[in-house]
Amino acid sequence: AYVAPDGSAADYSEDNVPYQPEHHLKVSASGLKEGDFVMAAGYPGSTSRYATLAEVENTFSWSYPTYVTLVNDWIDTIEEAAPEGSDARVKYESLLAGLNNFEKNTRGQLEGARRVGLVERRAEREEALAAWIAADDSRAAYGEAIAGLQALSEESATKARQAFWYNFATRPTLLSTAQRLYRLAHERQKENALRDPGFQDRDMTFFRQGMQAIDRRYDASVDKAQWLLFLDTYMDEPAGNRVAVFDEALGLTADLDEAALSAKLDSYYAGTTLGDVDTRLALMEATPAELEALDDPFMQLAVALYEYERGLEAEGEERAGRAQALRPAYMEAITQWQRSQGLLTYPDANSTLRVTYGTVLGGSPKDGMAYLPFTTLEGILEKDTGEDPFNAPERQLQEIREKDYGKYYSAEVGSVPVNFLSDLDSTGGNSGSATLNARAELVGLLFDGTFESVNSDWDFDPRTTRTIHVDTRYMLWVMDKVDGAQGLIEEMDVVD
């Protein structure tokens, strides 16, 4: 970043100088070796280390397995409806990438949970906690709160299963669009300050942009194929997981076969005007009565579901309120129980600044698999296919072939280290966290965790959890040998 000579922000000028912050990190060119101390400062998003047994069981015995099955079917449906190279496929590439990443992550959490016995470990913790509470009558209030939280968790799981199928069955793009427009029309009847978040005047620029952006990620034939998949799955569910008002509004009767359902959906896409961006933008100014009068099947369905969905919101808020009243006592019980064993209780991640520390360390997450602590330049050469994401620049490949390591060579690995592993505790949100050595010098950037580490959101296991960092020696090598960015290197405070 460049600024005026006095340090103030300025437009481009040849007189500008590199910004000189009051404090900065030194960049280590000497790097690390296995066993060295490292720490990372970042903003991890969220973890569930203190979820109850009921919450863990519901997640790993029902929610995650159900997601994996459905998402795989969803991916297949999109790929069939939008073949590779088609215009429709372009619109859904981002969604496909997200679904594949989600499926891999969720599957990894399931495998990791089975490997470390997550549910069993959580059950053991709750049994030990219950025994500690029962040992002293003065702790009875903890037991009452935990029993209440357990009952609430089971109730929430039942409600979540019904909501799960309903949420997918009501997922088509134009139905979601109609629901947002109808909700906006109702919110606009209130004073601005009393409207729900997302519907206030300050939100309208973003709301309008959302309406305009739909065309970039919507194709009617693909959308219909997805909706048909979700409805088929929804209709296979027992009556207790179905929503009567939705079934009635869409006409999902017991004798409705696949051909009739497909024809019904065709009539929705043929009879709507919400696929037109100008129509969507104009309807942002409509009243509830004007939207109710529209002869548009998606809007009529949105109107029919409106009161039910507001009821769902209210029920969810009521359960969240009960949980907020009970969970502090549960956490206090865990804190006091662990304190009695000489242990500290750290808070779950919540996007605030956290520091995690450990050592550079490889690992063996399961039988027959071993992770070395470092990867090297030669790995880039081996993985290169010429196609994304393994399409390294030819200049980089040539430098690797010539073994032009420069001063970034590590005798320990016989090359330039690219990435390294550590046993640091990280999660989503930690990507980009500065990794420092014992002298607080920058030695890397944290960017991911191994596949076997993803269930650490629920329970940190030092045997399997490994965090991945890019090594500063590799970053400097690329800047020096590949990009020719000596000017940037000179601006940084690089130390050997």
Task: For residue 95, tell me if it sits in a domain.
Answer: yes
The last residue of one of the domains, among 331, 361, 391, is: 331
Domain hosting 13: range is: 2-47+349-495
Q: Does the pLDDT of residue 455 top 90, yes or no?
A: no
Q: Does the pLDDT of residue 389 top 90, yes or no?
A: no
Calpha distance 472→470 (Å, rounded): 7
For residue 115, what is the enclosing H or E element? helix 87-116
Greatest Cα pair distance in the chain? 78
Task: For residue 387, tell me if it sits in a domain.
Answer: yes
Q: Please enumerate in sequence order all residues whose Cβ is within 8 A of that of 147, keeping only pairs 6 or more positions apart, or say none.
A: none
Q: Mind listing the pLDDT tens digit for each residue in 341-371?
A: 999 999 999 999 999 999 999 999 888 889 9
Report the phi/psi class of residue 32: left, alpha or beta, with left for phi > 0 and alpha for psi in -120 to 50.
Answer: beta
Query: 114 and 219: one domain?
Result: yes
Q: Which CATH number characterizes residue 37's domain?
A: 2.40.10.10
Number of domains, the chain? 2
pLDDT band of 250, cuts 50, 70, 90: very high
CB 56 within 8 A of CB 39: no
Neighbour-count burial of 192, counting CB atoms closer than 10 A to its CB (0-12 exposed, 13-18 middle, 19+ buried):
exposed
Distance in angstroms between the alpha carbons of the first and the last residue of the chain: 24
Task: For residue 338, tell me if it sits in a domain.
Answer: no
Query: 440 and 413: one domain?
Result: yes
Closest CA to 414 of 439, 378, 450: 378
Task: For residue 342, tell me if it sits in a domain.
Answer: no
Query: 71 and 124: one domain?
Result: yes
Task: Tell me the mean pLDDT in the region 205-218.
Answer: 97
Task: Tell me the mean pLDDT in the region 277-305.
Answer: 98
The last residue of one of the domains, among 297, 331, 365, is: 331
Query: 43 and 185: one domain?
Result: no
Q: Please enumerate in sequence order all residues whose Cβ is within 8 A of that of 330, keeping only pairs 6 or more positions apart, or say none.
A: 50, 52, 142, 145, 146, 149
φ/ψ of 360, rounded to 5, equals -70, 120
Task: For residue 69, tell me if it sits in a domain.
Answer: yes
| pLDDT > 70 fraction of the chain, expressed in percent and rounded | 100
Query: 153 and 302: one domain?
Result: yes
Q: How far is CA 485 from CA 410, 430, 434, 488, in A?
A: 21, 27, 21, 6
Give the model's pLDDT for residue 397.
96
Give the model's pLDDT for residue 36.
98
Q: Which residue has the higher pLDDT, 77 or 389?
A: 77
Give the model's pLDDT for residue 316.
95
Average pLDDT, the chain: 95
Query: 85 and 218: one domain?
Result: yes
Calpha distance 11→19 (Å, rounded): 13
Query: 78 and 148: one domain?
Result: yes
Q: Mind listing the pLDDT tens digit for each residue in 426-435?
A: 998 999 999 9
Query: 163 and 40: one domain?
Result: no
Query: 300 and 406: one domain?
Result: no
Query: 80 and 201: one domain?
Result: yes
Calpha distance 121→109 (Å, rounded): 15
Task: For residue 337, tell me if it sits in a domain.
Answer: no
Task: For residue 361, tell me if it sits in a domain.
Answer: yes
* Type of residue found at 379: G
Q: Mind listing the pLDDT tens digit for each residue in 174-195?
A: 999 999 999 999 999 999 999 9
Query: 40 and 79: one domain?
Result: no
Query: 22 and 62: one domain?
Result: no
Give the model's pLDDT for residue 103.
96
